[in-house]
Amino acid sequence: RANQIIFSDKGSICCVRNRFYFLFQVCEASFFAYRPVVEANVRVYAVLHEQDPTSTDRAFFQTRVMRLTNPNDEMGGKLFLATPQVVTHAIDQWSPLFPPRALARPSYCEDE
């Protein structure tokens, strides 16, 4: 079934109401025979190379879970893949995509 799912080859980061989101699309591609995927689940991980700020040590290939706002991962992250779906991750202070330097900036406000 893996050859039946198509992911966008690029993601985008957009700003909506002063909040940043990482987005990409996924859909089902049944070109020759329609065998729909029912209640597909999605999980997103970031694979990072983390640097220790106090030394030159690096930890390679560290995986971090990226929580999803659409589909909501608290509801199981289910998708209807018969139409293209946008998967959305909010880039907040707990996101692996959030730059660590931004935590020290007073201009970042969680509830604006």
DSSP string, 32-61: SS--PPPSEE--EEEEEEEE-TTSS-EEEE
For residue 62, give both structure tokens. 């560290």
pLDDT at 6: 87
Across residues 23-46, what is the average pLDDT? Answer: 83
- Kindly report which listed range (8-12, 20-24, 60-64, 99-103) carries the lowest average pLDDT score: 99-103
Q: Comparing 64 with 83, which gets the higher pLDDT? A: 64
Contacts of 35 (CB under 8 A, 6+ apart): 4
Across residues 49-69, what is the average pLDDT? Answer: 88
pLDDT at 65: 94
Band of the pLDDT at 110, cuts 50, 70, 90? low
What kind and span of H or E run contains 22? strand 19-28
For residue 24, give both structure tokens. 């990409």
Domain spans of the chain? 2-91
